[in-house]
Amino acid sequence: MLGQDMRELYIDLLTRKEVPVKMRCQVLRNMLMYLMEEEARMIKADQEWKKLQNKEDLKEMGDIQSGMATTIIQVYIKQILESFFDHHSQVRMIALSVITLILRQGLVHPVQIVPYLISMGTDSDNTIRAKADQQVQELDKKYPGFIQVTTINTRQTCRFRKIGIDRW
């Protein structure tokens, strides 16, 4: 996912609107699967570390792999977040699922994600709206007061209105 050709292809598929919806969804699903596999691997590594915790240094366990996932997500985060503004709910839902995993794994700081989640709270799709609101609530529990301090980017909310997604 970090190779030049793959990176350019994925970014192109996620940003060009004339790309078929199925292809945009597949790119996002590929990212989702990668994150799910990484999460499973990290859980297994954590269990192994607990067995050997007296013999190994915590800092050395999994640093390289978790750094790789963070690097990959940093390359694509803008395109993933911009997928929230796609006209097709399938694309928005998969993008939201990717963001949910990114937040759960702590791969990026939530400050850049919160305005998008708040904007998704205006989505016409009840499932997307509820899942986005749930993520905002979980962030607020994890970082009390963070949501209130974070400036709401009204420009993104207006973009939803502009493209007509919020007809509910």
Question: To the nearest whole percent, how much of the chain has pLDDT over 90?
Answer: 50
Mean pLDDT for 80-87 is 94
Note the pLDDT of residue 168.
Answer: 46
Note the pLDDT of residue 75.
Answer: 92
Note the pLDDT of residue 9.
Answer: 94
For residue 151, name the pLDDT band (cuts at 50, 70, 90): very low
Q: Look at residue 153 and tell me whether its pLDDT is greater than 70.
A: no
Q: Look at residue 27 and tell me whether its pLDDT is greater than 60.
A: yes
Note the pLDDT of residue 134.
Answer: 95
Mean pLDDT for 52-57 is 65
Mean pLDDT for 48-55 is 73
Q: Look at residue 147 and tell me whether its pLDDT is greater than 50.
A: yes
Note the pLDDT of residue 129.
Answer: 94
Concatenate the DSSP letters of all residues of 45-107 into one string. Answer: HHHHHHHHTTTS-GGGSSHHHHHHHHHHHHHHHHHHHHGGG-SSHHHHHHHHHHHHHHHHHT-
More confident residue, 151 or 17: 17
**Amino acid found at 136:** V
Q: How many CB atoms lie within 10 A of CB 91?
A: 20
Q: How far is CA 94 from CA 5, 46, 49, in A?
A: 23, 27, 32
For residue 65, name the pLDDT band (cuts at 50, 70, 90): low
